Structure 1
Amino acid sequence: MINKIILIFLIIIHLSSNALAEKDKLIISVASSLYKVSKELANEWEKNEKTKIIIIPGSTPLLARQIERGQRSEFIITANYYWLEWMLEKGLVEKDSILKIAKNSLVIISGINKPIYLDINSPEFKYDFIEQISSSMIAIPHPSSVPLGIYSKQALKSLDLWDSIEKKLVYTSSAQANLKFISQGEVNLGISYLSDAIFSSKVKILSQIDNKKFEYEQPIYWAAKVKNKNNDNYFLEWLIGDKAQNIFKNYGFEIISKKENN
């Protein structure tokens, strides 16, 4: 009898310890293009908070579907609003928690050893671009679902290139997979986020695609609280504070003004 009581007592202690451990960490699903900066953000957060951050990186559509299938996450950070709308429709995130947390830009890149030069402001740009892929291809993530692919298609249409090069496109699964594919020299050209390209020693930036001049939707990162989680929104508010925004800026992102979330 005493042994049974001791066993039950030990089980209760074990379960209580696990419950406390679960409360001491935040699991964040993060778009792959934010992986590097999210590690720095986590380090900064943990300096002053008791909760440890666990990062789950992946493409935005993959993360959204993982949460739909039951993957535990307290918060999700996506690379566009479309997938947050999808999650809202399925009741997976809390609408009132949604915030913009950072912005990005698109750049045309090539492998570091490719002898390629492109000037997006040149009258010959369209001809030069097509010439560079005449015997090669251009890589972008899939425009049917991956945010970088969606933005890239918009940009290529605005540059009046899409119809001319559509048959030359190679589709990849995510922003990070796309960057790696281009860096390996598998294609002559590709499109990347500025924040990814500037920290890669294996690619070079040929031209930045100004979204104001060429009228494509600027990449914006959104954060939201996953529904039915007990955590408050303090972490999300922290992401738009000065300390976190300066970290985003140091990693090549454009910061969000407080007015943009009002």
Structure 2
Amino acid sequence: MKIPRLLLAPLAALALSLPAHAQELVVSAAASLTQAFQAVGKAYETAHPGQKVTFNFAASGALLSQLQQGAPVDVFASADQATMDRAAAAKVLAAGSRADFARNTLVAVLPAASAHKPQSLADLADPAFARIAAGTPASVPAGKYTADAVAHAGLADALQARWIFGESVRQVLNYVARGEVDAGFVYRTDALIEPDKVRIAFTVPTTAPVSYPIAQVAGSRNAAAGASFVAFVRGAQGQAILQRFGFSSP
């Protein structure tokens, strides 16, 4: 998938928008980390005066495509190991910098007003669930976890015509929150953001743990700051913030 140049332009312009005295650190992170990493970023800036953290949130696959096209990023945090494996194969990661920093769980969610009470993937085969949202499996880790879980449960054919795909896990969350679909698959941490609009129906058993890796980007102009941010995320203060947003330790 080729990312249009207009998506890279905002990243390239970040340095121009910062005060001359600030050291810029650009972090590309999975959409599911949005609120948690914004809080981590503020805490990091407080602990490191003179450093400014700017985030670029999107689906992990889209972020990797940007990195492969030379986006000026210092740190990359993915929502799955497979995307980080592809990043390593593409040689866009700084050697030896990759590390796991959090875990999550996949859940099935319903609009809060829904009267249905599914308790397993098999229950979603009911005709009442005519529209089911999930991330696009090729670029959204939550979507790939979902596709694997559905296939493992033997429901791929039964649900094939019902999928409404989103470009990120947060887009899927919005579909459910607005009642545009009958059910959807997001991370538990996403569902906690909209407690008045979505309801967790059940936890989805995934074929692999929902594990988040982070790494410095090869060629970063701020390697020292990147290493410092990765250490902060994995340290006591960063972990406490992540757990406050529902993530668990790696």
Query: Normalising TM by the smaller chain, what interval?
Result: 0.7 to 0.9
Aligned to 1:47: 46
1:95 CA displacement: 3.1
- 8 Å contact 2:61–2:138 — kept in the other structure? no
- 8 Å contact 2:110–2:184 — kept in the other structure? yes
Q: How does 1:103-252 map to 2 (within 5 A)?
A: 103-120=103-120, 126=122, 128-133=123-128, 136-200=130-194, 201-211=196-206, 216-229=207-220, 230-232=222-224, 233-252=227-246
- 8 Å contact 1:183–1:202 — kept in the other structure? yes
- 8 Å contact 1:133–1:168 — kept in the other structure? no
1:187 CA displacement: 1.3
Deviations 1:152-200 (A, max 9, x none): 1122223332232122112111101111111111111111100000121
**1:253 aligned to 2:244?**
no
Structure 1 unaligned spans of 5+:
1-16, 257-262
Distance 1:95 1:102 in 2: 20
- 8 Å contact 1:133–1:189 — kept in the other structure? no
Q: Once the two structures are aligned, what percentage of the paired residues are identical? A: 22
- What letter corresponds to residue 37 of structure 1 in structure 2? A
Structure 2 unaligned spans of 5+:
1-15
- What letter corresponds to residue 31 of structure 1 in structure 2? A
Q: TM-score, normalised by structure 2?
A: 0.85
SS at match of 1:21: coil
Point out the structure with the larger helix share: 1
Deviations 1:50-69 (A, max 9, x none): 21111111111111111222
- What letter corresponds to residue 196 of structure 1 in structure 2? D
Distance 1:235 1:242 in 2: 13
Distance 1:208 1:19 in 2: 42
Distance 1:18 1:42 in 2: 18
- 8 Å contact 1:100–1:220 — kept in the other structure? yes
C-alpha RMSD of the superposition: 2.1
Distance 2:200 2:17 in 1: 48
Deviations 1:87-117 (A, max 9, x none): 2222211130001011110111011111111
Aligned to 2:13: none
- What letter corresponds to residue 114 of structure 2 in structure 1? K
Aligned to 2:5: none
Deviations 1:123-175 (A, max 9, x none): xx72x3211545x2111111123111100112222333223212211211110
Q: TM-score, normalised by structure 1?
A: 0.81
SS at match of 1:95: coil
Aligned to 2:91: 91
Distance 1:37 1:158 in 2: 31
- What letter corresponds to residue 231 of structure 1 in structure 2? A
Q: 1:21 to 1:231 in 2, by over 3 A?
A: farther
Deviations 1:8-51 (A, max 9, x none): xxxxxxxxx99993861211011111011011001111111021
Distance 1:97 1:22 in 2: 27
Aligned to 2:10: none
SS at match of 2:154: coil
- 8 Å contact 1:132–1:188 — kept in the other structure? no
Distance 1:210 1:245 in 2: 24
- 8 Å contact 1:104–1:254 — kept in the other structure? yes
- 8 Å contact 1:142–1:173 — kept in the other structure? yes
Aligned to 2:30: 31
Q: 1:69 to 1:198 in 2, by over 3 A?
A: same
Q: For this pair of structures, how many residues does the alignment match?
A: 230
Aligned to 2:12: none
